[in-house]
């Protein structure tokens, strides 16, 4: 996981803190509620969402991805150091291995529904930056989730350079 | 008729690129690079034959004598070899080179039988000769027949009922020192110390020592070999032909059954102290650093493996050299591979050699750990073995770099640990990561666990991890320490 403050994950976390995470702010609670129920188009009409799109340089072509990102970030209430996959799995998993397998294979609307449920199972707490980064790059993220879910560290990219 | 002492019959390649045919004594003439037979196994055996001839006729008395006579002396060699001519007729009515003293009756086999990779009669009948070959040689000219005959007797595999293997079994591993200065320097570098012999020591000068009742031929009392090591006769053969060429070979079973010999050009091992010494045989495939132990590197305190005498002597004779490692890798009588490779001669102080051996054993432990981890991704057997081979091949270059460090007196242990870890994990990931998230969750768990164990091994955990750290002279972690992983 990159800790680069300029990484998309870090930018999205900043945005989440400012617009959704502050539970004492009525505006944040209201935006989160709207986003959780919003149809894709309605989510894109939120000024805050457009602000995030600009910060992440996401144009109209990335609308689906952006909607998925903000709808799921709206599900999270609290930050945690552990990634969502770690909070779901481990030695006494909150999410069953079979459900996890389904999550790994899901696509489109089913994926969003399962991820929503997953955030709920994790008491709406997880590492926001990691979740945002993973949602933006879901293909690469899935193998890492496998490791985290089963309580191990994922392989780091520095190995790849040494493959002979 | 061809006499192998007097006549020129050995094709050689010279430094100026020209090709000549020489008599054995002429190998001491300058400018000759190497034998130039049409097959690598004949070239290998030709070295052994020439080394054997010098040992027979004019060996160094000791390593001091070896130094003094370092310069080639063709006239002296010619004179010393002359009295052996009587034993080196290929054909004729007298004793014949490497053949039974009395004529054998029977149907001649095709001359192909002299080559280790020819198809036997049965294989040809069943049309099963895919990797071996039938009907390649209709007739051999006399020099080629002589060389093939020598090669066959020296490396013979078992050949069915009563047809004995060579003194070193079928397809021995041959290791010779090569100072890199042409043919004479190689031959002289590998001649054992000793005293010259008489022609009658050669087994074909008297009636064959049979072995149908299990009689064994031992080396002379108190020795592990004599000149006969270079001229063993496990097979009873008579060549059929004339001056024009050899057309067939008659074979009878129950030739000499050699026991407890140690050939000076091969490494030996034994299963435990006090057990019988066995000659090493090559494995098919690349000969890389993983195969060094007991062949070019001495294991610390190992009472159960011994480098070839030629390599041990070179330690006393000294100088820059490489080692030629060669031989047929056999599966009983089936040839699998001909191995021919050049390896460095390790001229290391004891402590440095121990460190180097530690690096090899560490890689072994890492490879075992990798193979174990791959159980989660690859099926049993060949696939996992292939991954292990790939692991050694991929780390070979780094290992040779570290060898330089060891030679210079440094310690590459920490770097080597990193190299091994990197290679093992990246090899694992290349097989396990693609599509990981699409597997059954039980299988995902297995793979994740396997990777955890594998990376733990490189932190010194687990059986292989402990071994790995010990071989690298590092302290394995104490239980309860926090664990770092990749």
- What's the pLDDT score for residue B480? 55
Q: What pTM, to 2 d.p., does this model score?
A: 0.84
Taking only residues 380 to 439 of chain B, the set having a beta carbon closer than 8 angstroms to any beta carbon of chain A reads: 394, 422-423, 425-427, 429-430, 433, 436-438
The Cα–Cα gap between A110 and A117 comes to 11
CA-wise closest residue to B435 among A119, A143, A146, A100: A143
pLDDT in tens, B42-95: 999 999 999 999 999 999 999 999 999 999 999 999 999 999 999 999 999 999
List chain A residues with CB under 8 Å of B447. 146
CA-wise closest residue to B472 among B396, B397, B418: B418
**Which of A98, A153, A156 is nearest residue B441 as measured by Cβ atoms?**
A98
Query: Do residues B29 and B72 make contact, with C-beta atoms less than 8 angstroms apart?
Result: yes
- For A25-46, the DSSP string reads -HHHHHHHHHHHH--HHHHHT-
- What's the pLDDT score for residue A91? 86
Taking the CA of residue B473 and the nearest CA in chain A, the distance in Å comes to 25
Taking only residues 87 to 116 of chain A, the set having a beta carbon closer than 8 angstroms to any beta carbon of chain B reads: 97-98, 100-101, 104-105
The answer on pLDDT for B376 being more than 80 is yes
Cβ of A147 within 8 Å of Cβ of B440? The answer is no
List chain B residues with CB under 8 Å of A153. 485-486
CA angle B324, B328, B330 (to 5 degrees): 145
What's the length of chain A? 164
Query: At CB < 8 A and 24+ separation, what contacts does B215-218 make?
Result: B215/B257, B216/B257, B216/B258, B216/B259, B216/B260, B217/B256, B217/B257, B217/B258, B217/B259, B218/B259, B218/B260, B218/B261
In chain A, % of residues over pLDDT 70: 93
Cβ of A164 within 8 Å of Cβ of B394? The answer is yes
The Cα–Cα gap between A101 and A96 comes to 9
The answer on pLDDT for B347 being more than 90 is no
- What's the pLDDT score for residue A161? 41
Q: Which residue of A has its CA nearest to B427?
A: A163
Across residues A130-157, what is the average pLDDT? Answer: 89
> Is the minimum CB–CB distance between B336 and chain A shorter than 8 Å?
no
């Amino acid at each position: 996981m990159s800790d680069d403050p300029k990484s998309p994950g870090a930018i999205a976390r900043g945005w989440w803190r400012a617009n959704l995470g502050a539970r004492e702010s009525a505006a944040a609670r209201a935006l989160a509620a709207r986003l959780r129920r919003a149809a894709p188009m309605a989510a894109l009409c939120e000024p805050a969402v457009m602000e995030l799109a600009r910060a992440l340089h996401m144009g109209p072509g990335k609308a689906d991805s952006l909607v998925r990102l903000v709808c799921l970030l709206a599900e999270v209430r609290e930050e945690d150091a552990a990634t969502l996959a770690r909070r779901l799995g481990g030695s006494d998993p909150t999410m069953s291995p079979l459900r996890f397998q389904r999550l790994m294979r899901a696509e489109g609307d089913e994926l969003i529904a399962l991820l929503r449920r997953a955030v709920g199972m994790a008491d709406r707490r997880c590492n926001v930056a990691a979740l945002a980064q993973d949602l933006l790059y879901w293909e690469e993220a899935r193998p890492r989730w496998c490791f985290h879910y089963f309580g191990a560290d994922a392989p780091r990219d520095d190995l790849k350079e040494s493959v002979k | 008729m061809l006499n192998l002492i007097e006549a020129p019959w050995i094709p050689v390649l010279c430094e100026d690129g020209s090709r000549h045919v020489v008599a054995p004594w002429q190998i001491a003439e300058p400018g000759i690079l190497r034998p130039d037979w049409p097959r690598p196994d004949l070239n290998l055996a030709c070295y052994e034959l020439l080394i054997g001839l010098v040992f027979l006729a004019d060996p160094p008395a000791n390593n001091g004598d070896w130094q003094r006579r370092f310069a080639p002396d063709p006239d002296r060699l010619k004179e010393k070899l002359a009295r052996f001519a009587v034993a080196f007729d290929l054909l004729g009515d007298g004793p014949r080179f490497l053949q039974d003293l009395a004529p054998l009756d029977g149907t001649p086999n095709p001359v192909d039988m002299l080559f280790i990779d020819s198809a036997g009669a049965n294989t040809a009948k069943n049309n099963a000769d895919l990797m071996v070959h039938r009907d390649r040689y209709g007739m051999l000219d006399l020099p080629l027949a002589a060389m093939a005959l020598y090669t066959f007797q020296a490396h013979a595999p078992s050949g069915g009922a009563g047809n004995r293997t060579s003194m070193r079994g079928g397809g021995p591993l041959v290791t010779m020192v090569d100072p890199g200065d042409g043919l004479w320097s190689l031959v002289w570098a590998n001649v054992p110390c000793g005293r010259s012999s008489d022609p009658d020591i050669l087994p074909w000068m008297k009636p064959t020592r049979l072995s149908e009742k299990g009689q064994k031929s031992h080396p002379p009392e108190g020795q592990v070999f004599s000149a006969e090591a270079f001229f063993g006769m496990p097979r009873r053969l008579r060549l059929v032909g004339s001056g024009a060429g050899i057309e067939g070979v008659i074979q009878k079973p129950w030739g000499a059954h050699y026991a407890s010999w140690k050939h000076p050009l091969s490494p030996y091992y034994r299963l435990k102290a006090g057990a019988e010494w066995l000659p090493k045989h090559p494995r098919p495939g690349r000969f890389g650093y993983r195969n060094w132990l007991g062949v070019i590197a001495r294991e610390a305190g190992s009472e159960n493996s011994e480098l070839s005498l030629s390599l041990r002597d070179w330690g006393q004779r000294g100088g820059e050299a490489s080692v030629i490692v060669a031989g047929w890798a056999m599966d009983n009588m089936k040839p699998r591979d001909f191995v021919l490779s050049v390896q460095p001669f390790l001229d290391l102080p004891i402590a440095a050699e121990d460190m180097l051996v530690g690096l090899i054993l560490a890689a072994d432990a890492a490879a075992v750990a990798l193979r174990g981890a791959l159980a989660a991704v690859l099926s049993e057997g060949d696939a996992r073995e292939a991954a292990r081979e790939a692991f050694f091949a991929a780390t070979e270059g780094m290992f040779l770099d570290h060898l330089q460090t060891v030679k210079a007196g440094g310690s590459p242990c920490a770097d080597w640990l990193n190299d091994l870890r990197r290679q093992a994990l990246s090899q694992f990931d290349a097989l396990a990561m693609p599509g990981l998230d699409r597997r059954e969750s039980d299988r995902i768990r297995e793979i994740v666990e396997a990777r955890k164990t594998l990376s733990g091994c490189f932190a010194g955990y687990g059986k292989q991890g402990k071994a790995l750290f010990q071989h690298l002279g590092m302290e394995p972690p104490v239980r309860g320490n926090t664990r770092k992983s990749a």
